[in-house]
């Protein structure tokens, strides 16, 4: 837990206090300050920008505090004493951040109950969201994790190429190849490359590509034939501590001559990504940018071509430490929610616009890392839909 980083954030944003409340470990943020233990009563953690913090707990809870955290422990016995102590500790504070989000949109930041929030407000305090500081603690990627992420990116790019070649050769030789067979091929390649994933990759052909979360199974899997559109979405990370997922989506066509309608839609998707990267690059060094703004910009590009009703998910999701591909940081989202978290240095996320029509869907997915307030693409880019010509089939 980087207390110096937290205090820097509070000072930069003119926040008087980060007040972390939990009841029976209902707020996972306390793990950054208190060792994992059973708590029976309400706990309040007061983090100030320019002085030592305070942990307020009931006298029945004997806290084991992280030795790295220099906090004073204050105990209360009853409800009135708890309120009196809180009021005193808040006496010189006006702007207080707690675990809330605008309209409750950010599920990973909503741990403050209504009553406790009203109690703080009734003491004359202005409650703001702690979402950005939580993002800094849970989702910023250090040098080692970035190296592991880039290695995973290189490996899944190779595996993607192997999978497409596997499809093309089977189809060209009139051999049976199904979505499920390709999915299992990719999983076997993951194992060879020392990669793990939280869910099997998406392999979709024909009309199945119009379902963003389509998953083949052993009992339900389409056969891939000639002159068909194929979508492959694969994500994995190395089997190492501090590893971060890499996550890409590529499109292929099992033939030589790509139909113009596929090319036209793909070119719009590619243009939307290009312009979105330029948008971030030109604005982020000068001003705060929030996840919803990036989604809105990308979505408006697709809207300008008349496909707004066919872009049916957010533009991207967070990539950070953890067991799952989707991280705890800012999502590029003004569709499923309005993500007001900012694009911070050393965070990563995907950009993956898609257009899903009645008979096919097309998506490109890349990963982006923010370095020195600039977007750095960490995965390979797709310039066109791959065909037999690209693999000399």
Q: How far apart are CA 236 and CA 217, in angstroms?
A: 19
Q: Please indicate whether residue 30 or residue 277 has the higher confidence score (pLDDT).
A: 277
Between CA 141 and CA 149 the distance in angstroms is 9
Of 138, 153, 170, the residue at which a domain comes to its end is 138
How high is the mean pLDDT of the chain? 94
Instruction: Please give the average per-residue pLDDT across 248-255, as a whole number.
Output: 98
CA distance 164 to 157: 11
Residue 36 pLDDT exceeds 80: no
Q: Is the pLDDT of residue 95 over 90?
A: yes
Q: What is the pLDDT at residue 261? A: 97
**Sign of the C-alpha dihedral, residues 204, 353, 134, 150?**
positive
What pLDDT score does 61 carry?
Answer: 83
183 with 286, same domain: the answer is yes
Tell me the per-residue pLDDT of 147-170, one tens digit each, with 9 for 90 and over.
999 999 999 999 999 999 999 999
Answer yes or no: do 37 and 90 share one domain.
Answer: yes
CATH number at residue 69: 3.40.350.10
361 bridge partner residues: 356
Residues 199 and 253 in one domain: yes
- Residue ranges with strand state E in 239-305: 246-253
Is residue 39 domain-shared with residue 87, that is, in the same domain? Answer: yes
> Over the stretch 339-349, which tens digit does the pLDDT of each residue have?
999 999 999 99
Same domain as 367, residue 221: yes
Q: Is the pLDDT of residue 42 over 90?
A: yes
95-98 and 126-129 strand pairing: parallel
Q: How confident is the model at residue 71 (pLDDT cuts 50, 70, 90)?
A: confident
Tokens of 340: 């007001």
**Using CA atoms, how far apart are residues 334 and 314, in angstroms rounded to an integer?**
7
Averaged pLDDT, 58-81: 79
Q: How many domains does the chain have?
A: 2
Q: Confidence band (pLDDT; 50, 70, 90) for 69? A: low
Are 200 and 53 contained in the same domain? Answer: no
Q: How many CB atoms lie within 10 A of CB 196?
A: 15
Q: Are residues 296 and 340 in the same domain?
A: yes
Do 278 and 168 share a domain, yes or no?
yes
| Residue keyed to tokens 């809180």 | 86
In terms of domains, do 70 and 161 share one?
Answer: no
Burial 167-186 (b: 16+ CB within 10 A, else e): bbebbeeeeebbbbbbbbbb
List the domain range (segments joined by +) for residue 205.
140-391
User: Which two tokens mark 12?
Assistant: 């930069």
Do 184 and 43 have their domain in common?
Answer: no
Buried/exposed code over 211-223 (b: 16+ C-beta within 10 A; e: otherwise): ebebbbeeeebbe
Task: Determine the average pLDDT of the residues in 137-145.
Answer: 92
The domain boundary, picked from 110, 138, 166, lies at 138
> What CATH number corresponds to the domain at position 300?
3.90.230.10
Q: 247: closest CA among 145, 349, 344, 142?
A: 349
Stretch among 174-188, 199-213, 311-325, 357-371 having the lowest mean pLDDT: 311-325
Residues 115 and 220 both lie in one domain = no
pLDDT value, residue 216: 96
The token duo for 298 is: 């990308």
> What is the rounded distance in angstroms from the CA atom of residue 167 to the CA atom of residue 224?
8
39-46 long-range contacts (CB < 8 A, ≥24 apart) are 39/63, 42/82, 44/19, 44/20, 44/86, 45/18, 45/19, 45/20, 45/21, 45/71, 46/17, 46/18, 46/19, 46/89
The beta strand positions in 63-194, using DSSP E, are: 71-76, 95-98, 126-129
What average pLDDT does this structure show over 316-324?
Answer: 91
Residues paired with 377 in a beta bridge: 368
Judge if 56 and 194 occupy the same domain: no
The predicted pLDDT at position 65 comes to 57
| Range 205-231 average pLDDT | 96
- Whether the per-residue pLDDT at 359 is higher than 90: the answer is yes
Last residue of a domain, one of 113, 138, 163: 138
Measured over the CA atoms of residue 25, residue 30, residue 36 and residue 42, the dihedral's sign is negative
């Amino acid at each position: 837990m980087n207390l110096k980083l937290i205090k820097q954030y509070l000072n930069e944003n003119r926040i008087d206090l980060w007040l972390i409340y939990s009841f029976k470990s209902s707020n996972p943020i306390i793990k950054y300050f208190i060792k994992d233990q059973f708590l029976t009563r309400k706990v309040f953690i007061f983090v100030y920008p320019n002085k030592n913090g305070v942990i307020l707990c009931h006298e029945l809870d004997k806290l084991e505090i992280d030795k790295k955290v220099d906090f004073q422990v204050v105990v209360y016995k009853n409800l009135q004493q708890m309120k009196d102590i809180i009021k005193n500790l808040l006496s010189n504070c006006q702007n207080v951040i707690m675990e809330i989000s605008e309209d409750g949109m950010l599920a990973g930041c909503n741990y403050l109950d209504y009553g406790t929030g009203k109690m703080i407000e009734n003491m004359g305090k202005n409650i703001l969201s702690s979402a950005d500081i939580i993002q800094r603690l849970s989702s910023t990627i250090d040098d080692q994790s970035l190296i592991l992420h880039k290695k995973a990116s290189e490996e899944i790019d190779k595996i993607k190429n192997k999978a497409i070649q596997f499809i093309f050769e089977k189809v060209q030789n009139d051999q049976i190849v199904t979505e499920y067979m390709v999915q299992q091929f990719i999983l076997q390649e993951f194992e060879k490359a020392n990669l793990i994933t939280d869910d099997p990759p998406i392999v979709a052909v024909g009309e199945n590509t119009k379902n963003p979360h389509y998953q083949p199974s052993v009992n339900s899997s389409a056969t891939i034939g000639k002159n068909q559109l194929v979508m492959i979405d694969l994500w994995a990370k190395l089997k190492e501590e501090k590893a971060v997922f890499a996550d890409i989506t590529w499109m292929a066509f099992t033939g030589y001559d790509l139909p113009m309608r596929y090319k036209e839609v793909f070119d719009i998707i590619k243009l939307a990504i290009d312009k979105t990267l330029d948008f971030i690059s030109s604005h982020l060094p000068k001003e705060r940018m929030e996840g919803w703004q990036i989604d809105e910009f990308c979505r408006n590009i697709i809207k300008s071509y008349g496909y707004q009703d066919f872009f049916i998910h957010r533009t991207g999701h967070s990539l950070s430490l953890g067991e799952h591909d989707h991280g705890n940081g800012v999502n590029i989202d003004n569709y499923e929610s309005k993500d007001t978290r900012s694009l911070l240095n050393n965070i990563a996320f995907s950009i993956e616009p898609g257009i899903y029509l009645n008979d096919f869907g097309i998506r490109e997915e890349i990963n982006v890392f923010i370095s020195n307030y600039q977007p750095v693409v960490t995965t390979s880019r797709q310039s066109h839909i791959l065909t037999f010509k690209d693999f000399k089939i």
